[in-house]
Amino acid sequence: MGHRPRKEMIAETRAKLVAAARHAFGTVGYAEASMDDFTASAGLTRGALYHHFGDKKGLLQAVIAEIDAEMVGRLKVVSARADSLWQGFVDECTAYIEMALEPEIQRIVLRDGPAVLGDPSQWPSQNECIRSMSENLQKLRDEGTILAVDPEAAARLISGASLHAAQWIANSDDPEATSKKAVKAFNVLLEGLLKHAGRPQNSNQPALIGSTQD
């Protein structure tokens, strides 16, 4: 069993800590997660944690950065495979809601994160999501598809709405039905951005979102 290069061992230790913390934070929550416990579950001690991440908050930052990077990647895939910019944007929003339904994301990124690390708009990572959305909105504006709203402002409003929609859905008695209601209302709001207001008088039929329709 030849020893792996040093760099790799260290990276593995960091990864193990992040993984263990991610699991603990995602299940019992940040406050209830004992550093002794989850470092032990990774075969390490708090010593390693403090050495690599400074403190518990530092580890939370690392965990969030990891999750957020995954989220950005997934969002880029979604928007890239759409036919139009607008459709890509709408799909991205829907995907954002769907991701926010995942317990790990909801708990760590959307609840504990802001409480422990402060407002997410200040995080370098979270801004990636917003920036990605802002860029799309900017393009849509240049293209003349949407009204002349500030892209970042719209992006933040939309991400806030998505986030709350997701929490509402996740905690509802009937997530399926709730999800449909939320997505429909969400589309109505998004269409408010469109320059030509070509929308139906009666919105009881499915809205123009694509990816979640069955």
- Report the interface residues with a second copy, using CB under 8 A: 29-31, 111-112, 114-116, 119-122, 147-150, 152-154, 156-165, 167-168, 170-172, 178, 181-182, 184-186, 188-193, 195, 197, 199, 201-204
Q: Which one, 42 or 155, has the nearer CB to a second copy?
A: 155
DSSP characters over 70-135: HHHHHHHHHHHTSSSHHHHHHHHHHHHHHHHTSHHIIIIIIIIHHHHH--GGG-TTHHHHHHHHHH
Greatest Cα pair distance in the chain: 71
Q: What residue 185 binds from DNA, a second copy, none (CB within 5 to 8 A, per partner kind)?
A: a second copy
CA distance 5 to 86: 48
- Least distance to a second copy, CB of residue 84, Å: 19
Nearer to DNA, 13 or 212 (CB): 13
Q: Which is nearer to a second copy, 19 or 185 (CB)?
A: 185
Nearer to DNA (CB atom), residue 56 or residue 141: 56
Amino acid at 214: D
Shortest gap between Cβ of 111 and DNA (angstroms)?
Answer: 17
Binding site residues, DNA, CB under 7 A: 3, 5-6, 9-10, 13-14, 33-37, 39, 43-48, 50-52, 55-57
Could you give the C-alpha distances from 61 to 6, 11, 67, 178, 210, in angstroms and in order? 24, 17, 10, 32, 34
